[in-house]
Structure 1
Amino acid sequence: MKKIILVLSVIGILFSCSSDLNETDINEQNYLVFGHFYGMCGGEDCVETFKITNSSLYEDTIDDYSGLNMEFIQLNDNKFEQTKDLINFFPNQLMNQDETFFGCPDCTDGGGLFIQYSENGNVKSWRIDQDKNNVPEYLHEFMDKVNEKIALLKD
């Protein structure tokens, strides 16, 4: 009888652990933050930052130009559906770069993109000049997609 109880307990623990893993497939450790910033600007649209996971989209409510202070609120599923494919355009080459700045983001008041990628708690961040002449070509398509998604979310 004790062996049966022990076996049932172990099975129960295994099932509870596996269901927890399924629920937390994507969490605080796996996400993409994307946004734009403009220093010589006025109004709500100057700094827009979003965070996307496998299942949800969030918007930053702080709008801090530095990108250091962010607090996110979840957006509706319709907005998530409009942006969920952005991760497919993320250039993997970026993960191998030692550089964290590309071009001179917002130096000539042209704005910049803020990108942060986290995989299993390994977080990397970049600032990218909006002027494509100042950044590597492999970033161009991703930059277009980031700007496209931000425009969709602002409407």
Structure 2
Amino acid sequence: MRIVTLAASGSFLLAALGTGSCSPENPPVEPAADELVFGQFYGECSGERCIDIYKLDTRHQELLEDTKDAYPTTTAPYEGAFVPLATSFYRRAEDLGQYVPAQLLREPNGPIGQPDAGDWGGYYLEVNKKGKRSFWLLDTQKRNLPAYLHPLADTLRARIDQLP
């Protein structure tokens, strides 16, 4: 696995794209994660967009949407009931793993900031790599997040807004 860091805005775990042939000198590149589960949630909310959770499966190049729409907990990874979306939606989210900071992968599971504390919602993010599941509930208010998570929060908002 190749890890690329960007010093200007913190360290990021990137899934580099291999452009050359596969050889011992140029092995195939592993993705940053096998699956990313991500979305947004609001506790004091009504209507269709109160809880939107998606699963990005990089091995099968699929984006799936959760039909359970359960409020995520701070104690365990999200257990959804996922159905596939059109390939065009996968294309809108396929690069999301590139925005997951390496520093986040060292954080303990659970909340970061005060997600949904003031009825402003939260983001759910789970990274599944080789059977290991790590998850976080992130504040949507960047003032409550460490600076290294600001680009990720912006990207989550942008990607979720493009999905059904």
Paired residue total: 128
1:57 aligned to 41, 57, 63, which one? 63
Structure 1 gaps of 5+ residues are 1-24
Indicate if the aligned counterparts of 2:72 and 2:124 stay in contact, CA closer than 8 A.
no
1:115 aligned to 125, 135, 141, which one? 125
Deviations 1:40-98 (A, max 9, x none): 11011000000102111000000001254301001111111111111111111111112
Structure 1 range deviating more: 86-95 or 64-73: 64-73
CA distance in 1, matches of 2:53, 2:109: 21
Deviations 1:92-139 (A, max 9, x none): 111111252111110100100011111000101100111111111111
Aligned-residue RMSD, C-alpha? 1.7
One-letter code of the match for 2:37? V
TM-score normalised to structure 2 length: 0.74
After TM superposition, what 4+ stretches of structure 1 lie above 2 angstroms from structure 2? Answer: 66-69
Structure of higher CA gyration radius? 1
1:36 aligned to 34, 37, 40, which one? 40
Indicate if the aligned counterparts of 2:109 and 2:135 stay in contact, CA closer than 8 A.
no
Which residue matches 2:144? 134
User: Per residue, is there more helix in 1 or in 2?
Assistant: 1
Structure 1 residues 99 and 134, CA, compared in 2 at 3 Å: closer, same or farther?
Answer: farther
TM-score normalised to structure 1 length: 0.78
One-letter code of the match for 1:81? R
Structure 1 residues 60 and 99, CA, compared in 2 at 3 Å: closer, same or farther?
Answer: closer
One-letter code of the match for 1:59? E
Please give the secondary structure, in 2, of the residue aligned with 1:145.
helix
Structure 1 position 106 matched with structure 2 position 116: yes
- Between the aligned residues of both structures, percent identity stands at 34
CA distance in 2, matches of 1:97, 1:65: 21
